[in-house]
Amino acid sequence: MAKLSEYSAKRRFEATPEPPPVAVEGGSGPLLFVVQQHLARALHYDFRLQCDGVLKSWAVPKGPSLDPAEKRLAVFVEDHPYDYASFEGVIPPGQYGSGEVIVWDCGVYSPDEGGTAFHDRAEAERRVREGIDAGKLSIQLRGEKLKGSFALVRTKDPKTWLLIKHKDRFVTTADVTAQDRSVLSGFTVRDLKVAPVHRMPATRLAPHGELTVMPEKLQPMLAEIGDAPLQSPDWLWEPKLDGYRALAFVDSNGVRIRSRRGLELAATFPRLAAELREQAHSGLILDGELVAFDGNGKPSFNALQNRFQLKGEREIAAADRASPTLFYAFDLLHFEGIDLRRTPYRDRRRYLAQCLLPSPLIHLVHAADDGAALQDAALASGFEGVVGKHKDSVYEAGRRSPSWLKIKPTHSAEFVIGGYTRGKGGRGKLGALLVGYWDKGKLRHASHVGSGFDERALKQVLARLEPLHVDVCPFAETPVVNGPVTWVKPELVAEINYQQWTEDGSLRAPTFVRLRDDIEARTVKRVDPLAVAQSAKRRSNVEARRPASGADDILAALDNPKNAFDLAVGDQRIRLTHLDRVYWPAVEALQQPALSKRDLLRYLTHVAPLMLPHLADRPLTMIRMPDGIGGQRFFQKHWKQERPDFVETVNVYSAHKDEDHEYLLCNNLPTLLWLAQSGTLEFHVWHSRARPGPDAISTSTDYDSSLEAMEASVLNYPDYVVFDIDPYIYSGKEAKGAEPELNTVAFEKGKQVAFWLRELLLGMSLQPIVKTSGKTGLHVFVPIRRTLDFDAARHVSELVSRHLMRQHPKDITMDWSVPKRTGKIFMDHNMNVRGKTLNVAYSPRGEPGAPVSMPLTWDELADAHPLDFRIPDVVKRLSRTGDRWSDALERKQDLASALAGGPA
């Protein structure tokens, strides 16, 4: 197209991973800016502004400056495609601009002369066009490194411009280019010589989407109590601030600061409200914490409570000057018309860092990957602990979610006060609080709390309790008390520290911390920190479904010499029969003895922790050989016989027969072993899962009502693009018309093609993984987020395969005629069709020698042969190497943008 003709003319897209010349028309929401650091012949920076579907671009040799005295040369260059904004990678030698590129900074921008227009794209683009035509463009940048107002000014030479920082609170003489890492990958340009790059779509760089009306009210998402910071790359950690939770709403009507209970606080903090007003024009919602500090500069909840007692304007103004209250922002829920609540936290956090304009009273909360180290630092600085957030979590307004965890050195929770006892001596009026929690509409007693009070706290609590006196005990069961008790309406909430819950449901060593006016009493429920921590650890295992405990017991039971018995698998029982039936005869050349059904059950018990995650939630097709590989074998999709209760199923619509069919799901160890008992030797699965998740564009689980429903469901979105490498190089011993037998020449040629394919995919910034088929071929997968349907995945596989075939026409074919495949490697892109299956990782094959479909690293593939991986050897091998392949499979990429640099 004309806008990108100069860009296109300079590049050969079959040789460079840069995206092709495609303009993006339409769209709404704020405009994107990006600065890419480019190590070509010399290090320089490319400054790009989205406008009219492309990126207007300037080369800035020295990079941007935040010092108005530094007028940086900016050379106007050709427009770049919008998808170029997220390009990180290596432009190969011999190509235009060869060298390494990172995204040094990115965010949103708007013309700002006469006011910003982040919310009005059409108006913003009109002003950008006029500014470029006039040779003077003033813009506000909201990035992680570049913030505030800048000017682009053209000199007498039409290609020569100057990039100049305007004077505002973001001015500094410090060299901003000393921050030399990518805001996306964290790499420097020099790291890219060896580091793998994972591309994301340009649309994820900054807030984007359809414009929506900003909600007037919103309840904050809440964290559950955790036991300790999880050591997982899927979590990000923040210091837990000792303050009041608040949501800040900013729009054309003004500023609202709402407490967790919905109380309006803006009038109490006028300076803060004034600074929040500068954050946005037509809409912004920040989630954060109001924090006050004591005389030693440490967070003080008491200081904050004192501030809430002030009512007069003169008192409030004096407090604003003497001890201002700060707002620490930790989430961005809405920005200039874009609702971000369904956006994963990892992206919301990046958008917050971009869009927030820090000021004296408004700050961005620090975040780190190492929760344990941050917890140590937080406690040393006077904070309460840390809060962990799962990077894929959406914002669950009003819900206490296990996707967020709060960790303190001692457990802490909120409890409802239902009464108090009399004390002795100076504590005559209040001895201990009787506290509890709501459970199914009833107030359950949790503990007496008598410690933690100083004189001031005693007076405060008594003053709040006296108006709440009632004659009737509010607890479902009257607590045992040692003296007179005063019952109160269960309306007041106290925060209590404690060591743990006892077996009888009481708190051990409870201590009063403070009253919590920001929490509704009716929302208080019991939280068990240990149970929450265990649940979070299970989730952090990358959705893997681990088998039931007791594998050692199962293996010991299989040593029973009886040919039939009942096997206990956790709480389930499976009737085993014909355990000594030979499934794989001995192979003398391999020095391998015969393997029986008992050996298959042992093998599956060993590999279940690795195999089940690849089976879970995928419609299963079984290849059954009840009499072993020498007997009858049949292909079974649907199980019509009686089955145990522990076997899960899913109904799937069949367009071929215009009816729905029931598929088995192998979601647990009992099912896996029951299938083996039933003669299933091979386990073949769909490439998609009947389970929504944060990586899936669809949340529909209607798989069987109609073809349209099926196509809209999550089952129509695969987890990976498949490349099936199938050698048609014959050993010469095959019967007439038979498929090629396994032979070394064929497998070596298949490996060569797999390495060619890997090189091509790496050049597209994709990270492929590989496994043997267990027979003659190889399966190469590119993990993706579930945003492409099967038709798109098939199209991708076809494009890439055809490009590779054009590079190696003597070695690769995609011809459907079997005779024309002979002597070549057949690449079957049609495996990327809904309902097509491949044998799952670690599945045995019904072939001599009991080979296994074995996941490999690429280094391992170089010296591999399929018969290296047989049932007797795999368990020994895994005990040495672990399961690196499964980890790689879960590191998903967003393929749609990454493929933009691939073959067309």
Supply the angle between the helices 744-763 and 790-807 in degrees, to the nearest 10.
110
- Distance separating alpha carbons of residues 636 and 595, to the nearest angstrom: 23
> Of 614, 641, 626, which Cα lies nearest the Cα of 837?
614
Confidence of residue 840 (pLDDT cuts 50, 70, 90): very high
* Residue 54 pLDDT greater than 80, yes or no: yes
Question: How are beta strands 72-81 and 160-165 bridged, if at all?
Answer: antiparallel
Q: Which two tokens stand for residue 266?
A: 């803006």
DSSP state of 494: E
44 in Cβ contact with 60 (< 8 Å)? yes
Please measure the distance between the N-terminal and C-terminal CA atoms of the chain and give it in whole angstroms.
15
Helix (H, G, I), strand (E, B) or coil at 196: coil
| pLDDT given at position 895 | 43
Q: In Å, how far from its chain's centre is CA 209?
A: 19
- Distance separating alpha carbons of residues 894 and 86, to the nearest angstrom: 12
Q: In Å, how far from its chain's centre is CA 571?
A: 33
pLDDT tens by residue, 55-76: 999 999 999 999 999 999 999 9
Q: Where in the chain is CATH 3.90.920.10? A: 609-901
> Of 217, 362, 389, which Cα lies nearest the Cα of 289?
362
Element spanning 532, H or E? helix 529-539
| pLDDT given at position 865 | 81
pLDDT tens by residue, 686-696: 999 998 887 88
Least confident of 131-145, 502-516, 525-539, 665-679: 525-539
Q: For the chain, give the mean pLDDT.
A: 87
| Tokens 């979105």, residue located | 717
Q: Which residues of 486-517 are buried (b: 16+ CB within 10 A; e: fewer)?
A: bbbbbbbbbbbbbeebeeeeebeebbbbbbbb
Least confident of 611-615, 685-689, 797-801, 817-821: 817-821
Helix (H, G, I), strand (E, B) or coil at 466: helix
- Distance separating alpha carbons of residues 119 and 332, to the nearest angstrom: 16
| pLDDT given at position 538 | 46
Confidence of residue 190 (pLDDT cuts 50, 70, 90): confident
Distances in Å between the alpha carbon of 604 and those of 547, 575, 847, 852?
11, 16, 17, 11
* Residue 701 pLDDT greater than 50, yes or no: yes
Least confident of 294-303, 503-512, 567-576, 621-630: 294-303
- Distance separating alpha carbons of residues 156 and 864, to the nearest angstrom: 65
Instruction: Report the CATH fold assignment for 222-407.
Output: D-amino Acid Aminotransferase; Chain A, domain 1 (3.30.470)
Mean pLDDT, residues 384-404 taken together: 91
The better pLDDT of the pair 298, 893 is held by 298
| pLDDT given at position 658 | 64
72 in Cβ contact with 11 (< 8 Å)? no
> Of 680, 671, 665, which Cα lies nearest the Cα of 646?
671
Q: Which residues of 252-287 are buried (b: 16+ CB within 10 A; e: fewer)?
A: eeebbbbbbeeeebbebbebbbebbeebbbbbbbbb
Least confident of 92-101, 155-164, 613-622, 865-874: 865-874
| pLDDT given at position 747 | 85
- Distance separating alpha carbons of residues 60 and 69, to the nearest angstrom: 16
| pLDDT given at position 903 | 30
| pLDDT given at position 367 | 92
Q: Does domain 609-901 have CATH number 3.90.920.10?
A: yes
* Residue 303 pLDDT greater than 60, yes or no: yes
pLDDT tens by residue, 249-298: 999 899 999 998 888 999 889 999 999 999 988 899 999 999 988 777 77
* Residue 891 pLDDT greater than 80, yes or no: no
Q: Where in the chain is CATH 3.30.470.30? A: 222-407
Judge whether 240 counts as a catalytic residue.
yes
pLDDT tens by residue, 724-777: 999 998 766 667 777 787 777 788 889 999 999 999 999 888 889 999 998 889
pLDDT tens by residue, 539-575: 444 333 333 347 888 999 999 899 999 999 988 999 9
* Amino acid type, 891: R
**Cα dihedral 18/24/28/34 (nearest 10):** 30
Which residues are paired to 33 by β-bridges?
A: 49, 107
- State what percent of residues in the chain have pLDDT above 70: 92
List helix spans (H) across 764-857.
Answer: 790-807, 818-821
| pLDDT given at position 731 | 62
- Distance separating alpha carbons of residues 892 and 875, to the nearest angstrom: 27
| pLDDT given at position 298 | 75
> Of 204, 197, 196, 198, which Cα lies nearest the Cα of 82?
204
Element spanning 222, H or E? strand 222-225
- Distance separating alpha carbons of residues 292 and 269, to the nearest angstrom: 12
Distances in Å between the alpha carbon of 397 and those of 247, 333, 406, 781?
11, 10, 17, 37
- Distance separating alpha carbons of residues 45 and 75, to the nearest angstrom: 10
Residue 665 CA neighbour count, 13 Å, CB half: 18
Confidence of residue 312 (pLDDT cuts 50, 70, 90): confident
3-state secondary structure 703-737: CCCCHHHHHHCHHHCCCEEEEEEEECCCCCCCCCC
| pLDDT given at position 711 | 92
pTM: 0.55
| pLDDT given at position 300 | 78
> Of 293, 354, 303, 472, which Cα lies nearest the Cα of 35?
354
Confidence of residue 332 (pLDDT cuts 50, 70, 90): very high
Question: How are beta strands 31-39 and 43-51 bridged, if at all?
Answer: antiparallel
- Distance separating alpha carbons of residues 21 and 84, to the nearest angstrom: 9
List helix spans (H) across 558-652.
Answer: 597-615
Q: Which two tokens stand for residue 294?
A: 């004591």
**Cα dihedral 815/819/822/827 (nearest 10):** 20
* Residue 338 pLDDT greater than 90, yes or no: yes
Which of 147, 240, 391, 751 is catalytic? The answer is 240
> Of 749, 735, 810, which Cα lies nearest the Cα of 777?
749
Mean pLDDT, residues 631-635 taken together: 92
- Distance separating alpha carbons of residues 634 and 434, to the nearest angstrom: 67
651 in Cβ contact with 662 (< 8 Å)? yes
> Residues near 356 by Cβ (< 8 Å), separated by ≥ 6?
279, 286, 329, 332, 362, 364
- Distance separating alpha carbons of residues 323 and 222, to the nearest angstrom: 28
Residue 829 CA neighbour count, 13 Å, CB half: 20
DSSP string, 318-358: HHHHHSPPEEEEEEEEEETTEE-TTS-HHHHHHHHHHH---
Q: Does domain 411-527 have CATH number 2.40.50.140?
A: yes
Which residues are paired to 138 by β-bridges?
A: 151
Helix (H, G, I), strand (E, B) or coil at 739: coil
Residues recorded for the chain: 904
Which residues are paired to 165 by β-bridges?
A: 150
Q: Which two tokens stand for residue 771?
A: 């496994």
In 82-134, which ranges are E strands? 89-91, 99-111
The better pLDDT of the pair 893, 803 is held by 803
| pLDDT given at position 573 | 92
Confidence of residue 120 (pLDDT cuts 50, 70, 90): very high
List helix spans (H) across 628-728.
Answer: 669-677, 707-712
DSSP state of 85: G
CB-count exposure of residue 17 (10 Å: 0-12, 13-18, 19+): buried
**Cα dihedral 83/86/87/89 (nearest 10):** -160
pLDDT tens by residue, 122-169: 999 999 999 999 999 999 999 999 999 999 999 999 999 999 999 999
> Of 822, 784, 824, 827, which Cα lies nearest the Cα of 804?
827
Q: Which two tokens stand for residue 724?
A: 């099936």
Q: In Å, how far from its chain's centre is CA 153?
A: 41
* Residue 583 pLDDT greater than 70, yes or no: yes
Confidence of residue 194 (pLDDT cuts 50, 70, 90): low
- State what percent of residues in the chain have pLDDT above 90: 59
